[in-house]
Structure 1
Amino acid sequence: MTDPKVAARSVPADAHAAPPAAPALEPPGPPTLAGTRPWRYAVGMFGTSIPINMIKGSMILFYVDILGLDVRVYGAVMVVYAIVDAIDNPVLGYLSDRTRTRWGRRRPWLVVGAPLLAASMIGFFSAPTSLDGIGLVIWFAVFAILCEAFDSMLNANYGALLPELFRRERARAAANSLRQGFQLLAMVLSLAVTPLLTTKVFGTEETTTGFTITAILYGAIAVVAILFMAFSAKENPHYAETARPRFFTTVGQIVRNPRFWSIGIAGACYTSAMGLVLAGLQLDVRYSLGLPVSDALFLQAAVILISVLGLVAWTRVVRRLGAALTWRLAFVVLAVSFIPLFFANGLVTAILAGILVGVGYSGMLATNDLIVARVLDDDAERHGEHREGLFLSAFGFFGRLNAIVSGLALASLAWFFGYESGDAPGAQPDLAFRFFLCVYPFALCVIGAVLARFIRVPDGVAEQNEDAAASTQDVLARAADEVDG
């Protein structure tokens, strides 16, 4: 699963390579395409979030702590998987941008990708308990890569619809807030409720049956939500009339855009930090707090509930201060929140600290995607092509660094604290997961906050064009009234 709005517009380093005059992308139109309701689009986030959050939130517990996969092997697999995923992401986005069908550019990919992701997730959590050694490594690697590839397919297409369906800043901010709200609801299910379902309702803390049953249940829910969204969203047919983007030309223009690197790296700091939180929370509850894994339900539920409430508040802050300033502020709040979490010594103190994490997290949710959408608008205005899929997938390259960060962070627990797996936790597993859950995310967010401080975010190009068009229409209407008079 970032941030939105305005700041001063700067000229990118590759401005001289851009066309001298921005071509007209489309005639002025309504801020939201007819037939597309924000909540119908937003509900898709519920479907795309459930599978990947269960995977990222339970994969270490499932493979390392229960099945006994060595953390160093886990780290190596994550590095390889991240490299593969960083390569296939731009390809998937490129193919999506070039797709031309009677059903639209994005819908076919969403319809195909939903059941494939669900099936891959079920396979991921169905590893036979008899597997060990190289067999376990291969099973883990294959299904991890498949899950991330189909998740990338879905999110490249789903994310590309946001700037297309909602052209005005207010409509876009509202749709983004709704979809982030649905993401938080999905997190309640796929993160907070999952430990209860997998270790209490359908299985135990030492068995894997509960994970398989839960994956089947979540997969069915995700497919229904994604398909409902896919058949409800009305894509803009004008976008399909533009020239198909060329892969190497587009990639060259993207990598020469300084905003791609600055905003991408800053965003990766935030997503990597939260990725560590998702991956390590259940084991932090087990080792650092000394509680059953199922008690993670209370901590996760508290954080998500605060995030839901905070999302409303941060959206109002965005409207008052603008996306860029709010984005920078949220980075600082999120970084600071990890300090009290490190010192939590019980469920109550962990929940209190988690509330602050939820505040900072909701601020990033309310702003980060809007910042990225501004970059997409600016690119389309300058180059005259709608290639949101490839551009978002290129941004996804930085998101794929999460897997490398998570893998290296987990492997470091073996080097620094002696934690190798559930079978060999070492002498300080409690301190190990305090570092994993708090120190590493804090450092990442500090880096992101410093970078964000110096980033200049593009102006709202689409918003400016539509406002100008509306002003022109008002003038013409008044002139017509005077003539009629």
Structure 2
Amino acid sequence: MSEPGTAPTPERTPAWRYAIGMFGTSIPINMIKGSMIFFYVDILGLDVRAYGVVMVIYAVIDALDNPLLGHLSDRTRSRFGRRRPWLVVGAPLLAACMIAFFSAPTSLEGFGLVLWFAVFAILCEAFDSMLNANYGALLPELYPRERDRAVANSLRQGFQLVALVISLAVTPLLTTQVFGTEESTEGFQITAIIYGAIAVVVIVFMALSARENPRYSTRERLLPSLWSIIRNPVFWKVGLTGACYGVAMALVLAGIQLYVRYSLGLPVANALYLQGIVILISALGLVVWTRVVARRGALWTWRLSFAILAISFAALFFATDLITAVAAGALVGAGWSGMLATNDLIVARVLDADAAHNGEHREGLFLSAFGFFGRLNGIVTGLALTSLGVFFGYNSGDDPGTDPGFAFRVYLCVYPFVLTTIGAVAARFISIPLEPAPEPEVKETR
């Protein structure tokens, strides 16, 4: 029996069982983010100005619902735990909305097309936020030591990269050649159905495998909790700096297919090779970066990765063909890999300090508050795409302007370079809390 008044520490969840969940959560949302511009703007003819407006609206809505979802998760009490019910419910809802998102009737145009895009884009992002708020909150809870946390995080980032190979690099091949063409939408619907089914199976498996700690449930009220987070200066420093990285990669993921088509003058299916080398280098680099974290710490490694990522976008700007683009993409992969290995560890340290200071484990709310900065992705990518119409005349696939190649070189290289340079400089001035002492385990005795 356990000691009176205490609950036994649950058995440690194997790192791979937790990490595989990232595979399931990454496939749907990255297909959406990686193909939404190509699908709606270039194929269906949605005007970039309408796209930009929708992105701003959905980002604002998502910024508001994220803290609420995280707070509800923190306060959930059930025999299945705090996070698992949300994961099991959210997975099929996201899959269904993704399929609907890529099933827009080709007859839609004007306001009807904008409305379809807006409704399902917002729903997809909402259910993705539900999943990631709960999935991300499990990392610091299941693995309190930074060394164990770094291993679990690297494994899950590895699974994410495998998902990216499928949802980004393979998707253009499936949608435009295997199941459809570059001018049709059928391939997107079939691919979405396949990806949705895979995601549901993987997420549910992971959720049922996670062993949550019942001691971590909280009953804090929403507004006081939010107010204490907002007053935390480290929250703003880490959040805004991390947003520079997040927005930069969102621009890359959203525009790479059109960069290949217009800037490199190649069929969209060639995005497979560029995305593939970026992801391959990122996956291989996780092993190296995890060892660097163990020797030099997460903060030092985070700063170095930021600088490498910024330099890589400058190299990508000067690429003129697939070979030079792939060479620059390898450098992008190296910097991105370092950010994948460290960014969540930096955030987790902030969560650790908050739990130690307030005596409450409110990882769901805190991560959702950090998600506010992630919502900037939608606003900035929308504004960035809209700027191509203002400065370069690219308004849609039907009205690409006189030089869409340079327009998407700016979108994919210049904007991310500026953002990551700002982030690399800001990271030099950030300090994070020290790793907390591990909690004593309460073991069952007979």
Scaled by the length of structure 1, the TM-score of the pair is: 0.89
Aligned residue in 1 for 2:113: 136
Pair 245,185 (structure 1): closer, same or farther in 2 beyond 3 Å: same
Match of 2:431 in 1: 456
Q: Deviations over 1:312-337 (max 9, x none)?
A: 11111111111001101100000000
Segments of 5+ residues of structure 1 without an aligned counterpart are: 1-25, 471-485
Distance 2:315 2:70 in 1: 40
Counterparts of residues 57-456 of structure 1 (less than 5 Å) = 57-240=34-217, 243-456=218-431
Cα distance in 1 for partners of 2:438, 2:152 equals: 20
- Using the alignment, how far apart are the partners of 2:91 and 2:398 within structure 1? 35
Task: Note the alpha carbon deviations across 1:7-43, whole angstroms, 9 max, x for none.
Answer: xxxxxxxxxxxxxxxxxxx98997xx51511000000
Deviations 1:432-478 (A, max 9, x none): 000000000000001111111101111111xx245xx69xxxxxxxx
Count of residues in correspondence between the two structures:
438
Matches of 1:245 and 1:143, distance apart in 2: 32
Q: Larger Rg: 1 or 2?
A: 1
- C-alpha distance in 2, partners of 1:233/1:403? 31
Output one character per residue of 1:264-315: Cα deviation in whole Å (capped at 9) or x when no partner. Answer: 0011110000000000000000000000000100111111000001111111
Moved more, 426-435 or 446-455: 446-455
Specify every segment of 5 or more residues in structure 2 that has no aligned partner in the other structure, as ranges: 442-446
Instruction: Name the SS of the counterpart of 1:130 in structure 2.
Output: coil
Give the aligned CA root-mean-square deviation in angstroms.
1.4
In 2: Cα distance, 1:263 partner to 1:174 partner = 22
Query: Residue by residue, what CA displacement relative to the aligned partner does 1:102-157 show, whole Å, maximum 9, x if unpaired?
Result: 10000000000000000000000000000000000000000000000000000000
Could you tell me whether the CA contact under 8 Å between 2:144 and 2:438 is conserved in 1? no
Alignment partners' CA distance in 1, 2:12 and 2:368: 27
- The aligned amino acid for 2:107 is S
d(CA) in 2 for partners of 1:66, 1:127: 11
The aligned amino acid for 1:379 is: D
Percent sequence identity is 73
Deviation at 1:355, TM superposition (A): 0.1
| Structure 1 residue 239, shift from structure 2 partner | 1.2
d(CA) in 2 for partners of 1:458 and 1:399? 22
Q: For 1:249 and 1:237, locate their aligned partners in 2 and report how far apart those are by CA, in whole Å.
A: 23
Distance 1:385 1:434, change over 3 A: same
CA distance in structure 2 between the aligned counterparts of 1:154 and 1:168, rounded to whole angstroms: 24
What are the Cα deviations for residues 339-377 of structure 1, in whole angstroms up to 9, with x where unaligned?
A: 110011111110000000000000000000000000001
Displacement over 2 Å in runs of 4+: 26-30
Letter of the 1:259 partner, please give it. V
Structure 1 partner of 2:14: 37
